[in-house]
Amino acid sequence: MAEDKKRKIKPASWFWRWFLNNQVVTALLVVLLVLLIVFLFTKVSYLFEPIWQFLAIVGLPIILAGILYYLMNPVVDYLEKKKIPRLYSIIGLFILVVALIVWGSVVIIPKIQEQTVSFVSNFPQYVETIDDKLTEILRDPLFNQFREQLEKTGDQFMNSAGDILQNLSKTTVQSLGSFVGAVATIVVAVLTMPFILFYLLKDGKQLAPYLVKFLPTRMRVPTLKVLGEMNDQVSSYIRGQLTVAFAVAIMFMIGFAIIGLEYAVTLGIIAGFLNLIPYLGSFLAMIPAVFLAIVAGPVMLVKVLIVFALEQTIEGRLISPLVLGNQLSIHPVTILLVLLTSGKLFGVIGVILGIPVYAAAKVLISHIFEWYTTISSLYEEKHQ
């Protein structure tokens, strides 16, 4: 019997050893199949056009509901632990949010409108003031050798600005239909978002177990683990970033009000929104503040820079470490690359949502790589 088995067993051929039983070749074949599938999808992309249109309609209310869900769900969970029924907690939070919206509409929005109208009406005067100051600086003997080049650069800038304004005026009527469509999309999102948010708060915990039921039995527990980690990453980032943005808005409003800078409320709110863009938001928010400070004079410019330095110190040394910590474990260079890429591909939405999407994708890819290392012999360490 043993001799018969030996006769049946044949030595593996070079084709089997080098290709069929090679982990590297297997991985390359998988990559090739994935690329082939992507290529085929690009050829039949028109079949998925209704799906993209559907996602474009429901995407905005789902995103808004998801952001508010991550903000409100911890409060609902806390109240539920205190023996308050979940439904009553959700209704109470909805009433509180509506009250805050009404208060903002009565107090904050009119103030922002007033300051915005004032800024727009005074903008030509501000530009003229800055132009006079620049002309006065250029008359200084120190700038004689650079005067011609600076004047040429200024003329080019003004010509470019004129061309941009002319193009905008031509495309305003053409883009009116798109603007109306965008407004309609926002209105639909605002109307449908509360209903999505309500059911997310009420039944959100049952969503992942329900979806996992469609998977094979042995994949359910690992999938739940991955979804849980992705949820933790996204929720911690969104809650932390919105908390930091709110604190930044308050600090800038108080700081600008103390030094007497015009439009303190509007500038503070703009700074809070822009702070949703990591690393770059606060610097972008300083552009209009510095513009107004230059108009007001060098003393105001120094005050604005002091406010900016204090805000950055408090945010970087106290608020961000306390609220965000190191939960994402993403290098700053990686964050900047993600922001640039997502902003180029998806615009403002990509800049705001790029980091949480990257954090969730990082969790998924890490688990896939960990699974691959367990089934592959390519990463085994040889002990001598």
Instruction: Please determine, for residue 175, whether its predicted confidence score (pLDDT) is greater than 50.
Output: no
Region at 297 (left for phi over 0; alpha for psi -120 to 50; beta for the rest) = left
Pull the structure tokens for residue 191. 């109307």
Q: How many CA atoms lie within 13 A of 328 on its CB side?
A: 26
pLDDT higher than 60, residue 225: yes
Query: Across 24-28, 128-132, 259-263, which has the greatest mean pLDDT?
Result: 259-263
**Of residues 179 and 331, more confidently modeled:** 331
User: Whole-model pTM above 0.75?
Assistant: no
pLDDT digits (tens, 9 = 90+) for 203-218: 888 888 888 888 888 8
Q: What is the mean pLDDT of residues 60-81?
A: 86
> Is it the case that residue 1 has pLDDT exceeding 50?
no
Confidence grade of residue 341 (pLDDT, cut at 50, 70, 90) = confident
For residue 316, is pLDDT > 70?
yes
What's the chain look like in SS3? CHHHHHHHCCCCCHHHHHHHCCHHHHHHHHHHHHHHHHHHHHHCHHHHHHHHHHHHHHHHHHHHHHHHHHHHHHHHHHHHHCCCCHHHHHHHHHHHHHHHHHHHHHHHHHHHHHHHHHHHHHHHHHHHHHHHHHHHHHCCHHHHHHHHHHHHHHHHHHHHHHHHHHHHHHHHHHCHHHHHHHHHHHHHHHHHHHHHHHHHHHHHHHHHHHHHCCCCHHHHHHHHHHHHHHHHHHHHHHHHHHHHHHHHHHHHHHHHHHHCCCCHHHHHHHHHHHCCCCCCHHHHHHHHHHHHHHHHCHHHHHHHHHHHHHHHHHHHHHHHHHHCCCCCCCCHHHHHHHHHHHHHHHHHHHHHHHHHHHHHHHHHHHHHHHHHHHHCCCCCCCCC
The model's confidence at residue 173, banded by pLDDT at 50, 70 and 90, is very low
Over residues 40-58, mean pLDDT: 76
Average pLDDT, integer, range 140-166: 60
Mean per-residue pLDDT, 64-90: 87
The pLDDT confidence band at residue 176, using thresholds 50, 70 and 90, is very low
Pick from 199, 180, 233: nearest CA to 62: 199
Residue 306, pLDDT score: 92
Identify which of 99-113, 140-154, 183-197 has the greatest average pLDDT.
99-113
Q: What is the pLDDT of residue 172?
A: 45
pLDDT of residue 234: 83
Residues 6+ apart with CB under 8 A from 71: 238, 239, 242
pLDDT at 9 over 70: no
Q: Is 144 exposed, middle or buried (0-12, 13-18, 19+ CB in 10 A)?
A: exposed
Statement: residue 73 has pLDDT above 50: yes
pLDDT at 45 over 80: no
206 or 332, higher pLDDT: 206
Range with the poorest average pLDDT among 36-50, 160-174, 335-349:
160-174
- d(CA 344, CA 338) in angstroms, rounded, equals 10
- Residue 167: pLDDT band (50, 70, 90) is low
Q: Which residue has the higher pLDDT, 46 or 157?
A: 46
Chain center to CA of 258: 31
Using N-to-C axis directions, what is the helix angle for 176-203 and 49-81, rounded to 10°? 40
Answer for the pair 292, 263: CB distance below 8 angstroms, yes or no.
Answer: yes
Report the distance separating Cα 281 and Cα 330, nearest Å: 18
pLDDT at residue 162 tops 70: no
User: Which of 243, 242, 250, 244 lies closest to 267, judged by CA?
Assistant: 250
Mean pLDDT of the chain: 77
The whole-number pLDDT of residue 95 equals 92
In this prediction, residue 358 has a pLDDT band, given cuts at 50, 70 and 90, of: confident
Among 247, 246, 256, residue whose Cα is nearest residue 305? 256
212 or 48, which is more confident? 212
CA-based torsion, 205, 208, 211, 217: positive or negative: negative
379 vs 61, which has greater pLDDT?
61
Digit-coded pLDDT (tens) for 10-22: 555 655 556 555 6
